[in-house]
Chains A and B, each alone.
Chain A
């Protein structure tokens, strides 16, 4: 079955540590996205990529970095510069077709310990 896989499901980070969240899709979608969700709030865009080897900052990119070396993969690194990283991180992908929404992964819950 086609879909998006995010790993790990839960991740604990120590102060000052960088961590990388994995996102892999086998839907052959060109575009991929990272969103952050805080409790009781909507989704805020961190980074997005519409084509391999190209990506753009979203609304809250500070303290995060991404790469898009392969169409299937769009990993997100949460760096030590991100002062409040505890959140639910959602990866999504989409195809440039009318009426088709985003497909989301099941998310990674990151906690600073």
Chain B
């Protein structure tokens, strides 16, 4: 099936620094969804991107979908300790089931 590669696997940042995670595919992605999973918790839906080149913002979070729909990114400006967790991208594919990337585990040092 569709393979979605996500980098980096781990990221440690000092509080206040920016953070970016990238999602890449060798084939065209259908729609990209982003989820956040807090330590010991379950994934929580953040946003969905549908259109080529789409950019959406949620406060300090900026989500982008590449022009060729083969990559996506999540950027957090001025990280806070509440941003700690694992961020997953997921491609919705053609059969309405999600294929998840391996996730980026973010640690924010106070």
Contact = CB atoms under 8 A, between A and B. Distances in A.
B57 to A, nearest CB: 15
A85 to B, nearest CB: 19
A23 B65 CA distance: 33
Interface residues of A, number: 26
Nearest to A58: B97
A2 B41 CA distance: 18
B98 interface: yes
B20 interface: no
Contact of B88 (A42, A45, A59, A107): A42
B43 A104 contact: yes
Interface string B35-69: 10000011111111010000000000000000000
B88 A43 contact: yes
Given A42-B102, A43-B88, A59-B1, A104 B96 contact: no
Nearest to B35: A101
18 contacts: A31-B96, A33-B98, A40-B9, A42-B101, A42-B102, A43-B43, A43-B100, A44-B100, A98-B50, A100-B48, A101-B33, A101-B48, A102-B33, A102-B43, A102-B98, A104-B42, A104-B44, A106-B42
